[in-house]
Amino acid sequence: MPSVKKTRPISFETIDETKAMAALEIYAYSYNKKEGRVDPSNQNEQQDQIDKFEKTYGHSYHDVIVEIWKWHSYIFRVKKDHPIEELYSDYVAGISLTNKEPMKLVKYKGWETTGDTEWAFKGYVYEVKGFYSDDEIKLLILEDFDKERSYFEKLNAKFNQTTNVNTTYERPRIPESVRIEVWRRDSGKCARCGSREKLEYDHIVPVSKGGSNTARNIELLCEKCNRSKSNNVV
């Protein structure tokens, strides 16, 4: 069976465009020099550029380039010449996509790739063991994420029950399927203030006034918003 493991949280701070573009210009000069596209007579020009970069930005040129190159598999998904403006644009796009789909990151040691990769998705790094294509790995991570989300939705439905000490009647328990539907619809946050703390399932039309246990009549509210309501339809 496939082995998928969420190993650690990860966050990305996008490199400032000006800094990134300056580093990419130096890298492009180095690459063109290696390919014989520029005059190699001034052997110190590249190092002068690096020194100037690091003095200006107070940041290692190497670290900036490697941070961008971590997204190599996405940036260079098409074989063609890539203007530096496009490189930066794809780098930024890759970071934003980690909230939508699993993204493969290339590991570097010095200037060389280690041959290893890791996958980032929804703020976490995932490890997948086995011989799978990139598309298969993405599906495995998505399946693991969905299983975990469903598990916590069930736990929330089990333990986050609205209780009202002022009621004198027995309130029918909200069906678990309805709780899950409401949780997904309201994105796991208070429908009024957006809080994710101390959430409760609340009937829009109170049960005491004939309200039903359907998703249309139930919303997620935080404890504060729920307590601020009266027993009236709002």
What residue ranges define each of the domains in the chain, with the CATH number in brackets? 3-139 (no CATH), 171-227 (1.10.30.50)
Position 82 scores a pLDDT of 85
Position 182 scores a pLDDT of 92
Position 234 scores a pLDDT of 44
Report which of residues 193 and 33 the model is more confident about: 193
Report which of residues 112 and 162 the model is more confident about: 112
Position 50 scores a pLDDT of 93
Residue 204 pLDDT greater than 80, yes or no: yes
Position 157 scores a pLDDT of 83
Burial class (CB in 10 A: 0-12, 13-18, 19+), 100: exposed
* Chain mean position to CA 4: 17
pLDDT tens, position by position, 157-185: 888 765 444 444 456 788 888 999 999 99
pLDDT tens, position by position, 29-82: 776 665 555 555 666 788 899 999 999 999 999 999 999 999 999 998 887 778
Q: Which two tokens stand for residue 158?
A: 């089990």
d(CA 113, CA 165): 62
